[in-house]
A and B are shown apart, each in its own frame.
Chain A
């Protein structure tokens, strides 16, 4: 492997990311999947001295419905137009999305309007008729992982921990997986393009880890919308994830890092499902491979308490990674809520090592 070859590719996909004053829109599903990821983003953005504004009346972008063939494009565009209106009304021009599918949809809508100005006018009309709102298109559109990528050095500087095994001194071996709607639709809109996306690799490298390139790196995480949403198709979903795990296993990954709502969900939950379906686990000594969002990982680097990051709701236990990185955690507090009351404890899995 010649890393300099990848750098040449990355150089061709540079992207402008705003430095401050962001209008932030949330994902409709991430707070269920990874409950503290968005909260953690807001926390470190504040600590990094950045202004992030949220309007509580913002809604789903409808991307999940659009990509599941139940929301027509015109409806989706009007929903997007309303989000832009909320941004304009608040006096912001840098739009940041938490969700990859939202990012893909916003990019697709802006690109559509670029090529078909009449469509934009029509949607402006729809929004006006429905809500009386007007909007200005964002000056800069970025995904929250782009913004985190931009701040990766600041996070590293302020950080207490690194992606390094504190006992052996070796870098933690990390697999990265990018959401399809991040750069496959528009390679030029993702940091590093679509073939060798750099957005997560940049964070892993900066925070001390070692990136693993394995043969099924480009394969679907297992979400794929329809293959998961229809229960009859879920065998495809879990088999897709399994194909990736089987391919990455020989490289002994210690962490999977993601930037999409769906990827960490399926790479995490399906490890558990596969362990229950056929007894296979993919980490060392019967453990799973911990899976994280970039916000959660940034939180760990910055020394936030793992249980404040919501890592206890991951199906694959994260403790092996915490121990390698030398991050202290209190097992007794794992399943306590913020008031110190018990949240209940999950039943231990039959094959995967439980903590």
Chain B
């Protein structure tokens, strides 16, 4: 088979689909803007609900990618379509970041940096551009970036991954820790009405991990609802209560302030008792949600794809054509369509790979 497939985005979805398509004999090129593949999963230590190492999941996916041509450290600057064929033009530091670069001639028409612009021909494109984490600083009242002991869930994972002890900015083990759900999600004030879905169970997982590290500490999760949507999630919540004594307070944090000793005062309503409540915590973890990937707006514009009110990319039909777009030959996988867990990303990427295979092997392009 001579068909070339370009996969844009080297996170869990892009890597999974690229591997599958290459195994089916297609000529697959994976384009990643960062220096390394792995996406957000590369930053995570352990995954809910069974605490599997994220690195093991990535290792598994990478094993299937031996026939994928991976180019990292580049960005997509243009995509053109000629009947059933596409050309993806990229730009990037060819020499940097250990990028593996195919020997492709430079096009004369590529402006503004002809020397570093590379065209990649493709019979179809899979957009697996993923998401960004909500910028916690935008929730000004929580004081992220101002108060030293307010950190994000991703920063907590950095600490778990590095194996270094979790300490307050004053260098002490935290005796009381708050975990705040829905930061940047379900919040009209920051423009995000949607639920980011995986933060609830991440908060429960991180609460357990903190209790494992500091059994004598008090851990409080401040939540609006606990959306334990998938298998084993509710059981993890139960375990957090029963085995680890994690406390759950139903109330969204209204604001934080800093005490003279650097600890954080949080204010919420304990909605189950109907009273405003304040509490000092030594460390506050913000479960930041998903926002649409930064680069996707320009790619959508190049292709004429539509986005929903939430900013994520629309598929042709959310029930039946969830990996397809209105444009034949352009497919979607993973968090480009909205918040997903890693296991869902993998399943969705495999589904996308099959859709692409059917499309490329079909006499009638456009059939899904």
- A binding-site residues for B, Cβ under 8 Å: 1-2, 5-6, 8-9, 193, 195-196, 213-218, 250-251
Among A1, A9, A215, A250, the residue within 8 A (CB) of B140 is A9
State in angstroms the CA–CA spacing of A229 and B153 once bound together. Answer: 46
Known: A8-B137, A193-B140, A196-B140. A1 touches B255 (CB 8 A): no
Cβ contacts under 8 Å, B260 to chain A: 250-251
Q: Is B145 an interface residue (CB 8 A)?
A: yes
User: What distance in Å separates the Cβ of A309 from its nearest Cβ neighbour in chain B?
Assistant: 32
Among B141, B146, B265, the residue within 8 A (CB) of A1 is B146
Cβ contacts under 8 Å, B148 to chain A: 1-2
Q: Are A5 and B137 in contact (CB under 8 A)?
A: yes
Q: Are A214 and B257 in contact (CB under 8 A)?
A: yes
Cβ contacts under 8 Å, B255 to chain A: 218
Q: Are A213 and B140 in contact (CB under 8 A)?
A: no
Q: Is B34 an interface residue (CB 8 A)?
A: no
User: What distance in Å separates the Cβ of B193 from its nearest Cβ neighbour in chain A?
Assistant: 20
Residue contacts A-B, CB under 8 angstroms, 19 given? A1-B146, A1-B147, A1-B148, A1-B258, A2-B146, A5-B146, A6-B146, A8-B145, A9-B137, A193-B140, A195-B140, A196-B140, A213-B257, A215-B258, A215-B259, A216-B257, A217-B257, A218-B255, A250-B260
State in angstroms the CA–CA spacing of A244 and B213 once bound together. Answer: 37
State in angstroms the CA–CA spacing of A101 and B144 once bound together. Answer: 31
Cβ contacts under 8 Å, A2 to chain B: 145-148
Interface size class of chain B, counting residues whose CB lies under 8 Å from the partner chain: 10 to 19
State in angstroms the CA–CA spacing of A276 and B255 once bound together. Answer: 32
Chain B residue at minimal CB-CB distance from A13: B140
Cβ contacts under 8 Å, A9 to chain B: 137, 140, 146
Cβ contacts under 8 Å, A251 to chain B: 260
Chain A residue at minimal CB-CB distance from B141: A195
Interface of A, secondary structure class, is loop
State in angstroms the CA–CA spacing of A218 and B143 once bound together. Answer: 13
Q: Are A5 and B257 in contact (CB under 8 A)?
A: no
Among A8, A195, A215, the residue within 8 A (CB) of B265 is A215
Chain A residue at minimal CB-CB distance from B278: A215
Binary per-residue interface labels of chain B (62-89) against chain A in the complex, 1 for a CB within 8 Å, 0 otherwise:
0000000000000000000000000000
User: What distance in Å separates the Cβ of B156 from its nearest Cβ neighbour in chain A?
Assistant: 18
State in angstroms the CA–CA spacing of A156 and B258 once bound together. Answer: 30
Q: Are B145 and A5 in contact (CB under 8 A)?
A: yes
Cβ contacts under 8 Å, A213 to chain B: 257-258
State in angstroms the CA–CA spacing of A40 and B260 once bound together. Answer: 36
State in angstroms the CA–CA spacing of A218 and B141 once bound together. Answer: 10
State in angstroms the CA–CA spacing of A82 and B351 once bound together. Answer: 67
Cβ contacts under 8 Å, B137 to chain A: 5, 8-9
Cβ contacts under 8 Å, B147 to chain A: 1-2
State in angstroms the CA–CA spacing of A6 and B257 once bound together. Answer: 13
Chain B residue at minimal CB-CB distance from A251: B260
Cβ contacts under 8 Å, A195 to chain B: 140-141
Binary per-residue interface labels of chain B (257-273) against chain A in the complex, 1 for a CB within 8 Å, 0 otherwise:
11110000100000000
Chain A residue at minimal CB-CB distance from B265: A215
State in angstroms the CA–CA spacing of A251 and B258 once bound together. Answer: 12
- 9 smallest beta-carbon distances between A and B, as pairs: A5-B146, A5-B145, A215-B257, A195-B140, A215-B265, A195-B141, A2-B146, A6-B146, A9-B140
Chain B residue at minimal CB-CB distance from A250: B260
State in angstroms the CA–CA spacing of A217 and B259 once bound together. Answer: 12
User: What distance in Å separates the Cβ of A195 from its nearest Cβ neighbour in chain B?
Assistant: 4
State in angstroms the CA–CA spacing of A211 and B265 once bound together. Answer: 19
Chain B residue at minimal CB-CB distance from A193: B140
Binary per-residue interface labels of chain B (109-150) against chain A in the complex, 1 for a CB within 8 Å, 0 otherwise:
000000000000000000000000000010011011111100
Cβ contacts under 8 Å, A214 to chain B: 257
Binary per-residue interface labels of chain B (91-108) against chain A in the complex, 1 for a CB within 8 Å, 0 otherwise:
000000000000000000
Chain B residue at minimal CB-CB distance from A214: B257
State in angstroms the CA–CA spacing of A110 and B197 once bound together. Answer: 40
Most buried by B among A2, A215, A217: A215
State in angstroms the CA–CA spacing of A250 and B259 once bound together. Answer: 9
User: What distance in Å separates the Cβ of B187 from its nearest Cβ neighbour in chain A?
Assistant: 15
State in angstroms the CA–CA spacing of A217 and B256 once bound together. Answer: 10
Cβ contacts under 8 Å, B259 to chain A: 215
